[in-house]
A = this chain, B = another copy of it.
Amino acid sequence: MALSPYQQLEEEFHRIHVFRGAASLLRWDQAVMMPRGSIDVRGEQLAALETECHAILCSPKVSRMLERAMANAPGLEDWQVANLREMRRQRDHAIATPGSLVARLAQESALAEAACVEARRTQRFDVLKPHLEAVVSLVRDKASLLGQHLGLAPYDALLDEFSPGLTTSEIDSLFKALGQRLPALIRDAIELQGDTPPLPLLPPGGRLSVTKQKALAAEIMRAVGFSFERGRLDASDQPLTEGVPGDLRVTSRFDGAHPLRGLYDALHETGHALYDLGLPRAWATQPVGRNRGLVLEESQSLLLSTLIGHSRPFVAYLQPLLEKTLGVSGPEWSVDNLYRHLTRVQRSLSRVDADELTRPVHITLRFELENDLLTGALAVADLPEAWNAGIEERLGVRPANDLEGCLQDMHWPAGDFGFFPAYGVGALIAMQIWETLRTERDDIDAEIAAGQFGGIVGWLRDNVHGLGASLGVPELIKQATGKPLSAAPALRYLDAKYLEQR
């Protein structure tokens, strides 16, 4: 029997699924196992697999089948209609950005990334400047083409890739609400926490076994539901999650001198992995069966690593494990001191090192600056000063050099614009989901303190993970939490955590 247009589309997207799954494993291998000298071969393989996917998405056959299948949409089930919409979204993104532009952007951003490394080494922004200008110009072209094709404003078109269904104006109003409260909250929290820092976990020069740290991370991953029958934890320079549901590869970086960092990076990645594990099995090979983009991925990571992982009940669960696995004890490893470490608010100049309260400040600044870079309101040459002034205005501290300023991230040289907001919105989503979850489950703190995560993860699977990409971000949040996405739950959570509890 001949396949219907819809069924033919499923077959084509199944092929894309296989190529992407293979590419993901190749990326994991590159980070964890690959010999250094093989990078050129690997680059060719990844580019060729990406080209295959792009060719399928842009093929006249797929566009023809999409038209026919959409004409027959009344005969399809709901999830199939959602699948068609996601197929079209992928097709639209692929077809709007011609291969030549993609190739040039890949080329220029590779140069800009290398220049950024050099600029950081020499603390000279002007080494990066011409390359970043080239990248910004190409991203502007891409945003404009994408926008025309998707019927969106240019920056909204870039957002659509990472945060489907969210617009610049929505993000702007979310960030504004946050921005109005944060400065006072940061000030009050720092005042409340006082001048005495927590006891250092290790004496100067102290180190803890990396092997034991990894074993601890694995034990906690197992407790939250990660299956080592169908997944691995390894070490790599940058933490990442790759693979496919059914074979998930999490990595973290373990450092003897920073005994909590490897654990929390692993938890962050495990948040991604649990999301993937909870995706709807029946749609596994189809676009509707994928996760709902970076913004949701980030929300699930933060939910596990920060909202749960930095909570007092979690620290109560963690403390005896630290003692058992790492053999540490004493007042510096007490629940109180650990919790003080994990919730310490500081006016850090670094986004990566920033805490729950100051991280949004870093994100919102980047959101505004990248908007201005793309519209042309801000010239690349003026970026360092705009950055430093923006941070000083919001945090009250000023970078001493560009290394502490606009050279700290690799996203823009890499051509990733529209990406940063997903970190910030992801955090808001996490806090809104968290508020709902705490209402719907009786004694979540007791569960966490007992190391019982099954109920929490089950709720997430039912209300978030299991929906795959069947809804846009706003609809998904509305359905999961009963309310439209807003900054209010985040402000309630942050206020409670950083002001009331002490």
What residues of chain A have their CB less than 8 Å away from a CB belonging to chain B?
Answer: 14-15, 18, 21-23, 25-26, 29, 33-38, 40-42, 44-45, 48-49, 52, 227-232, 244, 246-247
Contact = CB atoms under 8 A, between A and B. Distances in A.
Contacts of A230: 35, 37-38, 41
Contacts of A229: 35-37
Given A37-B229, A38-B247, 20 more contacts: A18-B45, A18-B52, A21-B41, A22-B23, A25-B25, A25-B29, A29-B29, A33-B33, A34-B247, A35-B227, A35-B229, A35-B232, A35-B247, A36-B229, A37-B227, A37-B246, A38-B230, A40-B246, A41-B230, A41-B247
B232 A41 contact: no
A264 B23 CA distance: 33
24 contacts: A18-B44, A18-B48, A18-B49, A21-B41, A21-B45, A22-B23, A25-B26, A25-B29, A29-B29, A33-B33, A35-B227, A35-B228, A35-B229, A35-B230, A35-B232, A35-B247, A37-B227, A37-B230, A38-B231, A38-B246, A38-B247, A40-B246, A41-B244, A42-B247
Contacts of A29: 25, 29
A15 B42 CA distance: 14
A1 to B, nearest CB: 16
A456 B279 CA distance: 55
Contacts of A26: 22, 25
A298 to B, nearest CB: 25
A308 to B, nearest CB: 25
Contact of A52 (B15, B36, B37, B228): B15
Nearest to A55: B15
- Kindly report how many copies of this chain are found in the complex they form together: 2
Given A15-B52, A33-B232, A229-B35, A246 B41 contact: yes
A25 to B, nearest CB: 6
A292 to B, nearest CB: 22
Contact of A22 (B22, B37, B231, B246): B22
Q: Which 10 A-B pairs have the closest CB atoms?
A: A37-B229, A38-B247, A41-B246, A18-B48, A37-B230, A22-B22, A41-B247, A38-B230, A35-B230, A38-B246
A42 B25 CA distance: 11
Nearest to A44: B18
Nearest to A22: B22
A227 B38 CA distance: 11
A42 to B, nearest CB: 7
Contacts of A246: 37-38, 40-41
Nearest to A285: B44
A228 B34 CA distance: 10
A33 B22 CA distance: 15
B45 A22 contact: yes
Contacts of A228: 35
A350 B42 CA distance: 40
A13 to B, nearest CB: 12
A15 B19 CA distance: 12
Nearest to A18: B48
Given A41-B247, A244-B41, A231 B48 contact: no
A283 B3 CA distance: 39
A441 B45 CA distance: 39
A52 B35 CA distance: 28
A231 B35 contact: yes
A240 to B, nearest CB: 15
A34 B21 CA distance: 14
Nearest to A229: B37
A40 B41 CA distance: 27
Contacts of A14: 48
A283 to B, nearest CB: 15
A449 to B, nearest CB: 30
A41 B246 CA distance: 6
A232 B34 CA distance: 8
A40 B246 CA distance: 8
